[in-house]
Structure 1
Amino acid sequence: MNYQESFINYLKYEKRYSPHTVTAYKNDLDQFVLFCTGMVGEFDVNRVDSKLVRSWIVSLMENNTAPRSVSRKVTSVKIFFKYLMKEQVVVANPAVNLPLPKIRKKLPNFLEEKNLHHLLDDGFFTDDFRGVRDKLIITLLYGTGIRLAELLHLKDSDFDTRGYLIKVLGKRQKERIIPYPRSINNLFFQYAEIRNRTIGFSPERLLVTERGKPVYEKLIYRVVKSNLEKVTSLEKKSPHVLRHTYATHLLNKGADLNAVKELLGHANLAATQVYTHTTFEKLHDIYKQAHPRG
């Protein structure tokens, strides 16, 4: 029986992981199977022990694999064997309790408020279809903190323009409702009018290309990168940077951490707490400037 294939199907259809996540698990697992085959001649889940997994970790580090990637790859193998234990194929998980390389905590990149105000308010976007669409892309990513995959699947009907709310289908098909800035309404109506008049209404997708096809990941990355380059020297300029910026600005303005967790669609608070480091740094700067003994 091909246990790798049944595991991937389990992730797809039972856990309902995103295609991107499933592909990452598959690639990690394929890499591990290839390593084991080279070491012992044939991959057999019942012959894998902690010594073999440890050898793989050493091999990855000797090939200069980043510590974060090593940790993720080992986690993939760990979850694979956890699945096999659940299916009663193996009796132990060889990937547990193994020493992993230390990961330096990276603070999320984010833009200053003044940079985004400058980009959105000072005439950088044209009034034609592409200009209005691209401005809507930037505004939605920053104004709601949604993920790239969530943006791609938005429909016109997901907007409650009276309540200033947007419905989003997140990870594992979990739906959440997010409030958005009132200023988005005018841009949403402007975009919809130009799109319907020049290209045609699409009930399945809000955002389309000039040929009426749904927008795609590379297009969104290109739109975000080319526009952020106009106002920031940040090395990384991606849709996720705008999500980081959304969360950081909310916390800097005093938003409750649990509320930000729900807005971002995080499964646990630990994923949201990474943004508090940036906020604490800002508070520390304020303290130093304001306190007589700062």
Structure 2
Amino acid sequence: MMNEIDDFINYLLADKGYSKLTAKEYRSALQSLQIFYRSLDNQLTWYTLDADVVRQWMAREMARGENARTISKQLSGVRSFYKYMRRVGRMDHSPVTAVKSPKIHPKLPSFLRNSEVNQLFDDIDYPSGYEGMRDRTILLTFYHTGIRLAELIGLDVENIDLNQRELKVTGKRNKQRIVPFSAELANAFRAYLPVRQAYVSTDAGALFFNRRKLRIDRRRVGLIVKHYLSLVTTQRKKSPHVLRHTFASAMLNNGADLEAIKELLGHESVATTEVYTHTTFADLKKQYKLAHPRA
């Protein structure tokens, strides 16, 4: 029996190089829509549902408390699914062509102030031994390169070129890019690598390991970042993405070109990178209100 969702997910992973996380999100959206349209009419299928049913499903999701950004991402999965169905010749139309995504109000990214960054790397006493050195190196890698969480987890020792001070990063859809890094991170790598080698008895393979001497995972890195950011900031969000945002905002504030930041971050479009200009402007407005006598 044909399973359209499984076929689509396999196509995303095998042919398009999508991440497992994106594939999982798209599967969840499609399964949610499928359950919904079957609850309306058990005769409905992927081939017979129309735009109104999709809009009803989106309205139901919103009523359940999902925000516009999440619903837009879910709809993106449905759009991709029908694009695939047309590509393989199973359908000649898409019922979501006329369906508009909900309006998303720009969400300004959270980032650390310079004083908090200095405190993070200069004032904290990291534990001795492998884990303490690993944790500080992870934080420095996020801050100096702006890479994503998944990209950091995927790093191998061979991806580091200490002589050229370059990092080979595998991003979304297996696209590779070269990211330069500073002398501070180079020195951190030089100190960390011998300790890492003694810890796992190999100079090859994964760059960062957990206590079981396996490649470190998303959850552990998230906990590490949350712990140390909690020591320097009271802001609510304390994720690896905060350090990515901090990197981008620092680059922009110190004169980097927006197109260059786009390439460093691995963004597909400069429009994605432009959110950092809004962040900078928001900070300028705050400073204006504080400083201007009649603001």
Q: Is the 8 A contact 2:51 2:98 kept in 1?
A: no
Unaligned runs of 5+ in 2: none
Displacement of 1:275: 1.0
- Aligned twin of 2:74: 73
Q: Is the 8 A contact 1:11 1:17 kept in 2?
A: yes
Q: Is the 8 A contact 1:199 1:211 kept in 2?
A: no
Normalised TM-score (structure 2): 0.93
Note if 1:145 corresponds to 2:151: no
Q: SS of 1:101's equivalent?
A: coil
1:266 corresponds to which letter in structure 2?
A: H
Identity among equivalent positions (%) equals: 38
Q: How does 1:68-217 map to 2 (within 5 A)?
A: 68-217=69-218
1:86 corresponds to which letter in structure 2?
A: R
Normalised TM-score (structure 1): 0.93
Are the structure 2 counterparts of residues 2 and 248 from structure 1 closer, same or farther at C-alpha, using a change threshold of 3 Å? same
Q: Deviations over 1:98-144 (max 9, x none)?
A: 24433221100111011011110114313321111100010001110
Q: Is the 8 A contact 1:200 1:212 kept in 2?
A: no
Displacement of 1:211: 3.3
Q: Is the 8 A contact 2:167 2:178 kept in 1?
A: yes
Q: Is the 8 A contact 1:252 1:282 kept in 2?
A: no
For 1:222 and 1:151, how far apart are their aligned partners in 2?
A: 14
For 1:140 and 1:190, how far apart are their aligned partners in 2?
A: 13
- Aligned twin of 1:19: 20
1:91 corresponds to which letter in structure 2?
A: D
2:170 corresponds to which letter in structure 1?
A: L
Q: How many corresponding residue pairs?
A: 294
For 1:255 and 1:58, how far apart are their aligned partners in 2?
A: 42
Are the structure 2 counterparts of residues 198 and 12 from structure 1 closer, same or farther at C-alpha, using a change threshold of 3 Å? closer
For 2:20 and 2:69, how far apart are their aligned partners in 1?
A: 21
Q: SS of 2:231's equivalent?
A: coil
Q: Is the 8 A contact 1:148 1:240 kept in 2?
A: yes
Are the structure 2 counterparts of residues 98 and 210 from structure 1 closer, same or farther at C-alpha, using a change threshold of 3 Å? closer
- Aligned twin of 1:63: 64
For 2:180 and 2:100, how far apart are their aligned partners in 1?
A: 43
2:64 corresponds to which letter in structure 1?
A: N
Q: How does 1:215-230 map to 2 (within 5 A)?
A: 215-230=216-231
Q: Is the 8 A contact 1:228 1:237 kept in 2?
A: yes
Q: Is the 8 A contact 2:158 2:205 kept in 1?
A: no
For 2:206 and 2:41, how far apart are their aligned partners in 1?
A: 50
Q: Deviations over 1:141-174 (max 9, x none)?
A: 1110011111111111111111111111111111
2:63 corresponds to which letter in structure 1?
A: E
For 1:78 and 1:211, how far apart are their aligned partners in 2?
A: 41
1:203 corresponds to which letter in structure 2?
A: A
Q: Deviations over 1:53-108 (max 9, x none)?
A: 12212221222222211221122112211221222222221112324433221100
For 1:250 and 1:5, how far apart are their aligned partners in 2?
A: 42
Q: Deviations over 1:215-269 (max 9, x none)?
A: 1111101100000000001101001111111111111111100000000001111
Unaligned runs of 5+ in 1: none
Displacement of 1:19: 0.5
Worse-superposed segment, 97-106 or 247-256 = 97-106
For 1:282 and 1:66, how far apart are their aligned partners in 2?
A: 26
For 1:246 and 1:19, how far apart are their aligned partners in 2?
A: 26
Q: SS of 2:167's equivalent?
A: strand
Q: Deviations over 1:180-234 (max 9, x none)?
A: 1111122112211122224322522011123321111111011000000000011
